[in-house]
Amino acid sequence: MLDSFLFVMHMLSIVAVVILVLLQRDSGGLGGLAGGGNSNSLMSASSSGNAMTRATYIAATIFMVLSLVMAMRAAGDGASQSVVDAMQVEIQETIAEPKLPEPVTNPDTE
């Protein structure tokens, strides 16, 4: 349950970071949608830029913290093993038990 919640919050933070970066005025992306160039808007260009920058920093920080928390929870399961190590064990088991063919008996000689 907690892992699902963390995953959903992680996805939402990714979307927020992408949208906020695209809305930045200096990036040339979708900056015009946030009132860029409209002097009669509620927020001036500089204050909307500061708020947008602050929101981007907050969303990026949330993204990084959630990434670290999810990585620590995944590593904390205890019985984690490298895929390469698991493959080597499987290969060693196959090499250790060679399968010899059954001897062929001729039914005419018996």
Average pLDDT by consecutive 10-residue portion of the chain (110 residues)? 90 94 67 50 58 91 94 73 67 65 74
Location of structure tokens 């200096």: 26
Whose CA is closest to 69, among 2, 22, 15, 1?
2
Question: Exposed/middle/buried for 85, CB within 10 Å: 0-12, 13-18, 19+?
Answer: exposed
Q: Would you say the C-alpha torsion 56, 61, 62, 67 has a positive or negative sign?
A: positive
Other Cβ atoms less than 10 A from the Cβ of 19: the count is: 14
pLDDT of residue 39: 47
CA separation for the pair 48, 26 (Å, rounded): 12
pLDDT of residue 27: 45
Whose CA is closest to 41, among 54, 30, 32?
32
**Alpha-helical runs (H) found in the chain:** 2-23, 45-75, 83-96
The pTM (predicted TM-score) of the whole model is 0.53
